[in-house]
Each structure stands twice: as C-alpha cells, then as structure tokens.
Amino acid sequence: MSELSSDAVLEAVADALARAERPLFITGAGISADSGLPTYRGIGGLYNGRSTEEGFPIEEALSGHMLARRPEITWRYISQIESNCRGAGPCAAHRLIAALEAEKPGLWVLTQNIDSLHRKAGSRNLIEIHGTVHRLLCTACEYRRDVADYAGLALPPSCPRCGRPLRPDVVLFGEMLPQAALARLAQVMDDGPDLVFSIGTTSVFPYIAHPMWWARQNGVAAVEINPGETSVSEIASHRLKMGAATAMTALCSRLHLQAGD
C-alpha cells in the first residue's frame, strides 16, 4: 500500500486512470452518501440493527421468505428505503464515472446500490448486482415495469396482467444473486481490468472484494476511496481516505474532466 501524501497519491492514481483502458469501479453506499442518502449495509442497515414494528429483525422483514409469506411486511420496509432514495440525484462521483465511460468505453461499474443513481448519471456499462428499487417484477408472469418512485402505488402492488403480487427487482436477504449480473461480472474479470477502484464500500461480500484481490494477484493497481478502514484496505495499492465526490473531483480535475449535468 502506498505511504505517499494525499497529493502524491492523487497524482499517481490520476496517472494510472489516464492510461487505463478497462478500469473497473466498484461502488457501495458511500458514493450515494454524497447524494444525501443514508449509508447502510446492504438494504437493511438503514435500521441500524433495530427490529421492525412487528418485532422482526430487519433482515427477516426484507427476506425472500417474508415476501412470499407476508408481502405487506416486506413492501412496508422496501417502500421506506425507496422513500429515502426519492428525489436524490447523482453526485459528482456518479457523474464523473459516467463521463469517464464516455471517454473509455471499456470502463465498467459494479455497484451494490439499489438507488439507480449510476444509471441516472449516464453509466451504461453497469452491473447492478443487487438490483434496483425502481423496477417491479411480477412473481408469476413476465410483466415488468420501471417506476420513478412508489408514490401512489398500492402496497403490496398487484400485476395488471395476472393479478399476482409484484415484487421489487432487488436481491432480498436469503436470495441468490442474479445469474445475468454474475455472468457479466465474470466476463469483465475474464477480459482483465487494468485498474480497479473500490469506492464507498466495506467490501464484506466476497464478490465485491474479489476484484481487489484479483488486482493484487495480477499486478494491477487497486485504489480504495473510503474515509474508513475496510476489508480491502490492507491490499489496496493506493488509498484515498476521503469521500467519493471529493476524491473523484480531485482525480478528474487532474485529467481536465468535468462532470456532466
């Protein structure tokens, strides 16, 4: 890990980013904190370990089992999470990553976030590994619907085609990750990123930490942007102990790149 000053690390990372053709950005709740959203582990930590009004641990309320058994409970807390996302726009870090993709078509984003802010910023090479609250799926037929928010939505909602329950397109506790997203991530790793960023995530899930370990094992620069210590801090080749928007703005200013509107 680099022991250089912050300015020296910024210069080194900016130089690596300027040369990179296939950078991979891994993002977590910390990047959306600069958009005003709460930082929470997965989709449950918003409740800081507290039980729900019904006395369930939040992980149980937000589980696939609860959705099947008592969908009104799961929807109650999913809607609270969505309401915390409502009205938020991409921060400078989201927009700068999208601007970098426009210049570097080989750039990919792997995000844990379900707030769709990378997509709103313009990112297209995007793996939303935990899904998005802004898409609804029928539990019985192939109906799907994108929604800006849940305002006016009857909870739990029903499919207009078959009348069966709708669900949010997110990975609930106890559910498997989506195969399409895993396949895309595998392809990105097979192609070989030439620079890896970990931004605003504690990297507690193996599939989130893996690209940083892969970078270390393959001699690829691995950059962590996070004010605190995480499970990948010790293996990062460069660390920027600052927020996502501050760090990305400082990096991209050295590349003479500005965030779009």
Which one from 118, 130, 134, 238 is the annotated catalytic residue? Answer: 130
Pick the CATH number of 45-87+135-170 from 3.40.190.100, 3.40.50.300, 3.30.1600.10, 3.40.50.1000: 3.30.1600.10
pLDDT, tens only, 126-157: 999 999 999 999 999 999 999 999 998 999 99
Fold of 6-37+89-130+176-254: Rossmann fold (3.40.50)
pLDDT, tens only, 97-110: 999 999 999 999 99
pLDDT, tens only, 197-247: 999 999 999 999 999 999 999 999 999 999 999 999 999 999 999 999 999
Dist CA 229 CA 233 (whole Å): 6
118 part of the active site: no
Dist CA 6 CA 97 (whole Å): 21
Stated pTM of the model: 0.92
Write down the domain spans for the chain: 6-37+89-130+176-254, 45-87+135-170
What lies within 8 Å, CB to CB, of 133 at 6+ separation is 78, 81, 82, 85, 114, 115, 116, 150, 168, 169, 170
6-37+89-130+176-254 and 45-87+135-170, same CATH topology: no
pLDDT, tens only, 165-181: 999 999 999 999 999 99
